Amino acid sequence: MTDTASTVITVSQPEVAPRRRRHNVALWMSVAWLVLVIASAVLAPWLGFLDDPHKPLAGPPEEGPSWSNWFGTDQLGRDMFARSVWGGRLSLSIAGPAVGIGIVVGGVLGVLAGYFGKWIDLAVSSVVNIALALPALVFALFIVTVLGQSYMNVTIAVTILSIPAIARIARAQALRFAAREFVTVAHMMGARWPRLLFREVLPNVVPALASIAFLAMGIVIIAEGSLSFIGISVGSPSITWGNILAAGRGRIEQSPHIALITGGVMFVTLMALNFVGDEMLRRLDVREARI
Amino acid sequence: MLRFFGMRLAQLAVVVLAVTLLFYWMLNLLPGNPCVAAFGGAATQEQIAECEEDRNLNDPVIVQWAKWGGDVLTGDFGKSYLTGRTFGEAINNALPRTLLLLAYSQFLALGAAIPLGLWSGYRQNSAGDKMVSGGAFALLASPVFVVGLVLILIFAVKLDWFDLSGYEPISEGLVAHFKVMFLPSVTLAAGLLPVYLRLLRTDVIGTLQEDFVGTARAKGLPVRHVLLRHVLRPSSFTLLTIFGIQAAQAVNGAIVVEFLFDLDGVGSLLVSWVAAREYLLVQTLVALIAAVFVTVTTMVDLLYSVLDPRIRRK
């Protein structure tokens, strides 16, 4: 048996190999970029070569990239590289917890709805469908206004917004696996619902949720970026990618590098998140993930 | 059929009531008197008393909400106590801009996504398809404000083809109108396009496997005819569904785009009211947006059942 299996693999390999490898390069580049961004965000206060992002005249004002200021400087001469790193630190420190909590809460709601069906499903599905049909940014604005502009409140707002989309995917996954033979067999063997839910269904939903986490991370970063771009996020001395871009918009004629480089960093980060998430979904064969 | 419509309308009413009540209740959690805040902290006792009377602040929340609903239904949307401008005046000015922006961008997005999606699905895995799909993937990862800034830099600053001078109505001439509306519409469309494109492409690849496509080709119909008449039609459902979902996405984008291009539409109105702490107006606007959206979604659902009678029996 094992012999035939290995021969089949060796025979088919030459055809598949080149495509796979190319894919892997892009995948590993994405992972490397994400590790770089996350590491610099986490370690920002301890990185010796990084300027103080609030210090004016770290270089001549409104200069393009140079050796001393890799990403150039803004109109006050603050170092844009340091500001990008610190901006990423705040944006990621909002997106990380938001997605973490969103996955747990949305995952639980979705799995319960998908597994138990009936009124639980009806309740969860109707709330989720309504929430998904409403413009999220309007409600994020509303929540942040009501609660006040602080790190905590922005995180709460984007967390609430991430829950329905995650719940919807978790529900679809749970539905799909709850109907599978191995669950029926376990049921026939006398397993009760806690075992069926936690030992049979849940382990199959978790990998999908893990890959959704990458995509959700991208969506939350864009949501927080939009909020801070229009000036309704964490207060002004704090640096986020969104408010660097808002400032760069005002100086787009004189120093386009401010908006372009920060926008580029954001774009590459989002590309990497989407790429890793998509690739994981493809390997796990998850459908209904993309809205 | 009538019963089905009746059920949907009843559901719609319940959802609108629940959503607006929820928002009313949330605003009530705010500390302080909204009437004091509404005057920006500089109001006389009589003004505050008049505002409280006006907004029924002395009633329980549910009664306030019911009276607010009655006012809105009879066309009284309230006013800004700070500037004296009524809600209606502000909306009349802003709404056409936002609606035009949304219409242009949906038109551009669908206009580009349908031919590109059909073609890249038909030529699956060709170099062109890879370019189109790669481009869509990149657009999907581009926040609206980044796309907008890049377009501004290229087309308004470097090439100087378009103006960045706020809004010009159609009555000022089509050229002036499109000079200010083109870039915002393209920016917003860039966010909508990849979603339509990717879904249509997947759909097309599936439909091309069907027997009726083979039959149509065997009859000698030209590829263009088969794609437009036979392959696109079954995808109309997917496009309709996604159009409903994307409508919400489009409004998110519109808020950012209006801010970016100084368009003073409904989104800008919302942001400026939020910044000025005009909670009473924000509340009415958010509730109305919610009501409009729930209505749109219901309409899409109803349209399904018109297109496909099988759904009614489920």
Distance from CA of B42 to the nearest CA of A (A): 21
Cβ contacts of A247 within 8 Å, gap of 6 or more = A74, A258
How far A105 CA sits from the closest chain B CA (Å)? 21
Residues from chain B that touch A132, judged by Cβ atoms under 8 A, are 245, 248
Contact B282 A137 (CB under 8 A): no
* Contact of B159 with B165, CB cutoff 8 Å: no
For the beta carbon of residue B177, count every other beta carbon within 10 angstroms.
Answer: 16
Query: Which residue of chain A is at minimal alpha-carbon distance from B32?
Result: A146
pLDDT tens-digit map of B126-168: 888 888 888 988 898 889 889 988 988 888 887 878 777 677 7
| pLDDT for the residue numbered A1 | 38
- Nearest Cα residue in chain B from A143: B26
| Residue A83 pLDDT exceeds 50 | yes
Question: Residue B245's pLDDT band (boundaries 50, 70, 90)?
Answer: confident
Cross-chain Cβ contact A137/B29 below 8 Å: no
Q: Which residues of B touch A246 (CB under 8 A)?
A: 145
Closest approach of B9 to chain A, Cα-based (Å) = 15
**For residue A166, pLDDT beyond 70:** yes
Helix (H, G, I), strand (E, B) or coil at B86: strand
Q: Distance of CA A16 to CAs A10, A21, A23, B59, B131, Å?
A: 10, 9, 11, 71, 21
Band the pLDDT of A13: cuts 50, 70, 90.
very low
Cβ separation of A226 and B245 shorter than 8 Å? Answer: no
Could you tell me what percent of chain B has a pLDDT over 70?
Answer: 92
Between B309 and B300, the more confident residue is B300
Share of chain A above pLDDT 70, in %: 88
3-state class of B292 per DSSP? helix
Phi, psi of A73 (to 5 degrees): -130, 160
Which among A133, A137, A146 is the nearest to B255, CB-wise? A137
Q: B146 vs A245: CB contact, 8 Å cut-off? A: yes
DSSP per position, B206-269: HHTTSHHHHHHHHTT--HHHIIIIIITGGGHHHHHHHHHHHHHHHHHHHHHHHHHTT---HHHH
How far is it, in rounded angstroms, from Cα A188 to Cα A186?
5
pLDDT at B17 over 90: no
With cut-offs at 50, 70 and 90, classify the pLDDT of residue A246.
Answer: confident
A196 touches chain B (CB under 8 A): no
pLDDT at A105: 93
Phi then psi for B7, rounded to 5 degrees?
A: -60, -45
- Give B192's contacts in chain A (Cβ within 8 Å): none
Residues of chain B with Cβ-Cβ distance to A88 below 8 Å are none
B258: burial class by Cβ within 10 Å (0-12, 13-18, 19+)?
A: buried
Task: Select the residue of B138, B153, B289 nearest A252 (Cβ to Cβ).
Answer: B153
* Res A182 pLDDT > 90: no
- Dump the DSSP string for B147-200: HHHHHIIIIIIIS--S--SS---GGG-HHHHHHHHHHHHHHHHHHHHHHHHHHH
Q: Count how many Cα atoms sit within 13 Å of the Cα of residue A5 in the half-sphere of its side chain.
A: 2
Please give the pLDDT value at position B32: 64
SS3 B43: coil
Tens-digit pLDDT profile for residues A15-29? 444 555 566 888 888
Across the interface, whether the CB atoms of A130 and B152 are under 8 A apart is answered no
Alpha-carbon torsion B301, B305, B311, B313, what sign? positive
Chain A positions touching B138 (Cβ under 8 A) are 267, 271
Average pLDDT over residues A185-207: 82
What ipTM was assigned to the predicted interfaces of this complex? Answer: 0.80
Q: Give the mean pLDDT of B217-224.
A: 83
A274: nearest CB among B27, B30, B141: B141
CB contact under 8 A, A259 and B153: yes
Distance from CA of A290 to the nearest CA of B (A): 9
pLDDT at B33: 67
Which residues does residue B79 pair with via DSSP β-bridges, in sequence order?
Answer: B86
Per cent of chain B over pLDDT 90 is 5
